[in-house]
Amino acid sequence: MTQTYSTQMEAAKLGIVTPQMAQVAEDEGIDAEVIRERVARGTIAIPANHNHPALHAHGVGEGLRTKINVNLGISGDERDYECEMQKVRTALEFDAEAIMDLSNYGKTHDFRRALVDMSPAMIGTVPMYDAVGYLEKDLGNITAQDFLDVVRAHAEEGVDFVTIHAGLNRKSIDSFKRSGRMMNIVSRGGSLIYAWMEMTGNENPFFEHYDELLDILYEYDVTISLGDALRPGCVSDSTDAGQVSELIELGLLTTRAWERNVQVMIEGPGHMALNEIAANMQIEKTLCHNAPFYVLGPLVTDIAPGYDHITSAIGGAIAAANGADFLCYVTPAEHLRLPSVQDVREGVIASKIAAHAADLANGVPGARDWDDRMARARQRLDWPAMFDEAIDRKKAEEYVASTNPHDPSTCTMCGAMCSVRTMNKAMKGENVSLL
């Protein structure tokens, strides 16, 4: 008798290895049965909506390569969908595993459908952003059912995961208000939910109607990414009562989702000093039962506008080396403007470097092989092979082509004094001439 299932988690609990699990196992070099067992426990999520046939399935979580997400989408001030599609192509060029459409103006469904139809990467959204434009209602007039209807619309369109700020309930808001934050709530979705709750006097609709929400997500196998509405927006606010109180709620919501066979990811900080990152990763894994952890950065200082792809990559590498599974990229435009295509390129590369550095530290299977191939190419002074291994081939080639060394096997940094050239000759018993 053939067993039926609706979600990856449900299949895993039934002992079934789905095609998506098999794909993840092949990509990661891990036995498919190990993947299945971890999906069943919830420590790996495979976001894979039934309505996303172009998807190349990726796993996020225990023992896997660190994945990255690329945020894009239009705003009220910048409405060029073709530019956003160029950003999509840039993200896919560098093998980003996920793309989130955070469009927050007007009717966004046409772009989202086109994105799902063409993208092999996982697609995520924050339905809360789309509510005003989708429903053509002002925030205070939206009902709890309206919010659920928008989630269903996104699920039907094929998105693989949705960020839902369900942990911002009356209890966590009380902790937030009493903690006296410098930056209050910097989560866009979190601020909108908070404002709605204050205007209407109602409980968070995603918390109050969580079971109905899970029913929608179960039907399409949409992974819930439990959003951190109270993530710190500056280093002064990190690891405060509001952040931790919400995280406790997210842990409780995680088990409720798993009981209904809905996959879960947990979203995490924001801005945080270096010395707090490792502890925060452990707190999340403990409170949220080792669910996959998805972090924005964290940005390790607040003073570098224009360079926050760097502050984020520093924090992301430390976070992933200490348990984070999924890095949301940050571009140089963070805090300043909607990113350009070039900003997206730089943000993706910085995040990929951070992810790979963490994979090296964590001994992820195959991670060291890439570095070893580059090292062997450098030892041979084999420039074409170095370009083959470069994370950004175009930039590496442009740098080399921009100068004219006397010996084309070396670069203009050391020239005849190139240590690699010197050692290659010396170890062959050849004379080393610097003239």
pLDDT at 95: 96
Query: What is the tens place of the pLDDT at every residue in 44-72?
Result: 999 999 999 999 999 999 999 999 999 99
Tell whether the model's pLDDT for residue 304 goes beyond 70: yes
pLDDT at 38: 98
Q: Tell the CATH superfamily of the 8-362 domain.
A: Radical SAM ThiC family, central domain (3.20.20.540)
Tokens describing residue 92? 């896919």
Query: What is the tens place of the pLDDT at every residue in 273-291?
Result: 999 999 999 999 999 999 9
161 contacts 99 by C-beta, under 8 angstroms: no
Binding site, annotated residues for Zn(2+): 271, 335
Query: What is the tens place of the pLDDT at every residue in 131-154?
Result: 888 888 899 999 999 999 999 999
Binding site, annotated residues for [4Fe-4S] cluster: 411, 414, 418
Tokens describing residue 395? 């930039």
Binding site, annotated residues: 71, 100, 129, 165, 187-189, 228-231, 267, 271, 294, 335, 411, 414, 418
105 contacts 76 by C-beta, under 8 angstroms: yes
Higher pLDDT, 435 or 149: 149
Query: What is the tens place of the pLDDT at every residue in 178-228?
Result: 989 999 999 999 999 999 999 999 999 999 999 999 999 999 999 999 999
Assign 1 a pLDDT band (cuts: 50, 70, 90).
Answer: low
In angstroms, rounded to a whole number, what is the distance separating the alpha carbons of residues 127 and 155?
A: 10
In angstroms, rounded to a whole number, what is the distance separating the alpha carbons of residues 72 and 84?
A: 7
pLDDT at 408: 87
Query: What is the tens place of the pLDDT at every residue in 354-367?
Result: 999 999 999 999 99
What is the residue type of 305? P
| Integer CA distances (angstroms), 399 to 72, 227, 332, 421, in order | 29, 41, 21, 20
Of the candidates 173, 175, 104, which has an alpha carbon nearest to the alpha carbon of residue 133?
104
Binding site, annotated residues for substrate: 71, 100, 129, 165, 187-189, 228-231, 267, 294
pLDDT at 434: 85
Tell whether the model's pLDDT for residue 390 goes beyond 80: yes
* Mean pLDDT estimate for the chain: 96
pLDDT at 60: 98
Tokens 């290895």, residue located: 17
Q: Where are the domains of the chain?
A: 8-362, 406-435
Which of these ranges, 254-268, 313-327, 402-416, has the smallest mean pLDDT?
A: 402-416
